Structure 1
């Protein structure tokens, strides 16, 4: 438990000044006001005409009025949020929507995955498509039982053209079993295959995996647990089978994370570096997926800063999007070539990250 205690002590009392940290480019709210009081679980994607972001919004998480909202960035400005998905049955019964995921396959429509239902144990997965980069959307298609598509984080495009999704299920019994599986579609969501569950759901209760590329057919997945640390699991055959799930040295307060493999081969992880609470929100980088180094503190004041999504765009910049106090969605732009990193020792975030240029 030494590393968990140290990570708690390492949270600085001062407000993180993101603008002074190497690699920072820009920070903004996607909207200042909206027709819903609460928001969460955002996702971001690059299309040919610009960025698009989505999240769920409504009275509060799980309320029947919660739908999926979307904004598009054009000429550096985000559009007013528009509701693009709800779940209403023929009899007028409303169900809450959850965890949208945007993904743009090459030479194909923009995909919007989302979930709806009373609780995660009762979710149904849905998929909408857009042929005009998010301006209009198709009717929803239902994802088959036993599948939900990418449960929180973006899928990845595999060399064979298939889309590999990090997914997970939460069982209805108590204690609920949180188990990871990987789902794959080779035809843009028309048909699906999946792995078996890769953990027992209790010894390590894991959900919401991100997928990273280690070279060749080797993949790494990392994500959320109820064990106060992030999980990791590897595949040697492009995600068809996976090894044993283990816990990392990085803390996790039972909150969502996201990660991306950069074009220079490094991996970038956005997560809450604490075993309890959802502040601070941090960025770490790794050259091998094993050893992580501190890079940025995005937020560290009281409140909730959580559920990040992260992508690298065609210009090389990294775009991070996350929940800001359940009130707004924040967007941060980072230049990964200018990040400066410091070691994370025994799980403790360093008092300063200004130590070594990233990748050196």
Structure 2
């Protein structure tokens, strides 16, 4: 919640003199009422200006932040309207990534006690916001999983009976030479299998499977499924290539990881199937700083609109006419069970889905 207090509030201000702002781990910026930045510590420069090179204080505000930026408009309003913020959430863009800041501001007093400006304190709370979103998503996934498990069992029991009687009917129709009716039962059994597959996906979503963990070589695992990828790519007129770098082994369930990769690859191929061809690239790399093995699946399909990126892991959300909206949530659940995570990026056209897993020390 944000509270705003004007200079009429009589709130006691701060004096810039003796304010050792570099000692603060959070960002601190002091501005006068003429829109000049009197001082800023390194954390504030990194959060707002991005580059300290050539900055000498005091300086004009438009030398500190870009005049056309959201940050400039916000700081200018704070000074001109004499606003004191309390727990005000601000979002800024840095290096293409959004950062969430918590802002508090206080009046800056001059030597005679008059209002001479404002001092702003900025705390980066991006990790807390991200954690809150993850907790919310996992809670929702757990709720959906419980419902899915109940629904799946209720569907599977009558489905088994229907399938059994239909197979008996099919056999009898074949015996009597009723070929047309026999063909109908073939279609019905095929549809039952499709429903059964959907039930299996619901059960996968509802509870973690028993894992058979072992040390795996990513290059070997991808190479094993590459013939299957090649044949599927040829079928859809897609150019397939691999760019596999040497990476540390990962500790994972072999069949589960193969299932995740194959599901993501099928998604990529389906995304390009309506474009009369495309390019599919599978790349492996190692993020040494984070200790993560990264597997990228990149397609040249139409991409995902930015306003949908936050929803693609929501259960039952799909952009496909015949999709169930379970594929990506299931993949995310399975990768989470392995201690990893999935990231999706899409700009303009094409999409890259990345599976990140902890690498084992060599």
- Shorter-normalised TM-score: what interval? under 0.3
Relative contact order (C-alpha < 8 Å, sep 6+): which is higher? 1
The structure whose residues are more often helix, as a share, is: 2
User: TM-score, normalised to structure 2's length?
Assistant: 0.22
User: TM-score, normalised to structure 1's length?
Assistant: 0.22
